[in-house]
Amino acid sequence: MIYLVRHGQTEFNRERRIQGHVDSPLTELGVRQAEAVGRLLADLIREPDGWRIVSSPLGRAHATAELISARLGGLPVELDDRLKEMSWGAHDGRLRAELEAEHPDTFGRTGWAFDAGTGESYEAVSARVGDWLATLPPEPDRRIIAVSHGISGRVLRGLYANLDRDAAGLQDVPQDAVYLLQHGGVGRIDCEPLD
């Protein structure tokens, strides 16, 4: 099984800024979200022996993974470039509203189908995330907590559940929930509400 987590809220998330491969720190809420995910995973897993935490190396995901690790008794965090967020190229770090004003059709109906001739394509993200999935041990020996991002997490869930590109793009990307990927299905488990 795979428990898939999106990083906690960042400064750029709060500003509605495209992050891609650039980074911004977790907000106070983002830290609380990561800690809540850690508590949820500790309740779900109970005994972390045999489990692995694999994270995107981008700071926001790595920080989230470390906070989860602390709740699981210091389970080591492995970094894997294949879990990185989609790069928007020259648009990494820009405000979403600016891009929408400059390129009205930029985001498509899914809200992330960006195609302005810069950054990674869906196919490139799908290939690297698919490569990561292909290297995992088979079920039931698979015990992975994956910490990733909004778009790359959608792609991962889409590949796992055999969704087409549009269906993958329409999935939710909460920062206070965990997705269970098991037996070809994907289920969402919400954290307890934060004050």
Reported confidence tier of residue 61, pLDDT bands at 50, 70, 90: very high
Q: Is 155 inside any structural domain?
A: yes
Taking only the tens place, the pLDDT of each residue in 62-121 is: 999 999 999 999 999 999 999 999 998 888 888 888 888 887 777 766 666 555 567 888
What are 145-176's pLDDT values in tens digits?
999 999 999 999 999 999 998 899 889 999 99
Q: What is the pTM (predicted TM-score) of this model? A: 0.93
Name the domain count of the chain: 1
In a domain, 33, yes or no: yes
Domain containing 149 equals 2-190
Query: For residue 195, is it within any domain?
Result: no
Q: Is residue 107 part of a domain?
A: yes
Structure tokens at 1: 């099984």
- Report the catalytic residues: 7, 85
**CATH code, 19:** 3.40.50.1240
Distances from the Cα of 81 to the Cαs of 21, 40, 62, 85, 150, in angstroms?
11, 26, 11, 9, 15
If we measure between CA atoms, which residue out of 119, 112, 110 comes closest to residue 167?
Answer: 110
